[in-house]
Amino acid sequence: MSRPKRATQDIQFTSVDNLFGLDEVETASPAPGESAGIIELPVDELHTFRDHPFKIIPDDEAMYEIIESIRENGILVPLDVRLRSEGGYEIISGHRRKFAAIQVGLPSVPCIVSDMDDDTTIRRMVDSNIYRPNFLPSEKAFAYKTKLDAMKRQSGRPSKENASQVGTQKRSDQILAEQTGDSRIQIHRYVRLTLLSAQLLELVDTKKIPLNVGVAISHLSEIQQIWLFEFIRDLGRSPRLEQAEKLKKYHCEHKLTKEAMIAVLTEDTEASPSISIKTKSIAKYFPPDTSREEMEETILKLLEYHMNSRKITA
């Protein structure tokens, strides 16, 4: 696997946890019923957690860092796995470490085998990933939904240790907000993205559709989302927020036909285009104390001079 040139040659990590924070962070102590021992398991016996919401991007800079670290030092943080009923083991945290180990050619990796029910495993899987940087919107969306669903199921069957607290427990989304730093409203905005088609969600991930636009169009039906994706694909532009909100409104009023969608998305297309130039990109051509207004006036004069020169030579 060839490695591209890095923009930063010396990337410092303050700890092993920070290094693997690019993947998953496992800091919890073993719970009752878990094995705290570390064993070596063949990589071909380790399987991806079902419905795993986090993506492995092979050519990501962070992935290259993990591969190089494992190549030089081996795997410093064991993978967290559990037994599968159909044989082998299911990875709870460590999908990137497994991928990196395969690239390096390691036949086996150190693992801690945990014994947990499905919902506890889901919460552990999400928690071990949720704090890493550079989340894709789709990853956050499915991670939040997956954990909220598990939390709601578990809150419906209180254990002995929290039975006395029934009636005083916090809402699942409030707990998740406190854990992640995202507000409850923002968490539910992300969860709405799970209702987008795969094609539209990919456009959100690649920033061709802004997050707020993605939330608005997530209210559209499956066929309406197909129409919208075809429009974006064919015309090469995404809806503005006000257009997306209008599409949502028409959908809720049962008025969003294909013709109505085209009318909304093509309105104001004859308006004059606006051009925005960042001051930072042109500041080097002016004295340090030049104001933005002075820069704009100078640029307009230069453009006028350029146009007059073209008329003379024409």
My answer on whether 28 and 104 are in the same domain is yes
What pLDDT score does 132 carry?
64
Residue at 80 is within a domain: yes
pLDDT classification of 254: cutoffs 50, 70, 90: very high
Strands 89-93 and 79-83 come out as antiparallel
Residue at 276 is within a domain: no
Residue 182: alpha-carbon gap to chain centroid: 13
Question: Closest Cα partner for 230 from 215, 216, 220, 242?
Answer: 220
pLDDT classification of 131: cutoffs 50, 70, 90: low
Tokens of 293: 């207004």
Residue at 116 is within a domain: yes
CATH (domain of 42): 3.90.1530.10
Supply the range of the domain harboring residue 235: 196-265
Could you tell me which residue, 214 or 287, shows the higher pLDDT?
214
pLDDT classification of 249: cutoffs 50, 70, 90: very high
* Total count of domains within the chain: 4
Residue 121, SS3 per DSSP: helix
Q: Is pLDDT of 67 > 50? A: yes
Q: Report pLDDT digits (tens) over 223-247.
A: 999 999 999 998 888 999 999 999 9
What pLDDT score does 50 carry?
76
My answer on whether 201 and 146 are in the same domain is no
My answer on whether 182 and 147 are in the same domain is yes
Residue at 111 is within a domain: yes
